[in-house]
Amino acid sequence: MKISARNQLAGQVKSITSGVVNAEVVIVLPGGGEIVSVITKASAKTLKLKKGSPVIAVIKASDILLAVP
């Protein structure tokens, strides 16, 4: 697979929590950090995601906003 997005984080699926329409997928990164993605249940099924599946989180955003208390 080739993709133009530069922000790609490889990891493994830690857990999948399915709702009525969406699925929350927790991904563990090599350093132990975690990232969460919310995708449709249909997409999770199409990708055949399960605990331990290797995945690549592709992050494509034009802005990242920061705030301080």
pLDDT one-digit tens code per residue, 36-59: 999 999 999 999 999 999 999 998
Domains of the chain: which residue ranges?
A: 7-58
CATH number of 7-58: 2.40.50.100
Are the CB atoms for 6 and 57 separated by under 8 Å?
no
Give the number of residues written for the chain: 69
| Residue 67, SS3 per DSSP | coil
Percent of the chain with pLDDT over 90: 72
Q: What DSSP character marks residue 48?
A: T
Separation of alpha carbons 60 and 38, rounded Å: 14
pTM for this prediction: 0.84
CA angle 46, 52, 56 (to 5 degrees): 60
Greater pLDDT, 67 or 57: 57
Are the CB atoms for 39 and 21 separated by under 8 Å?
no
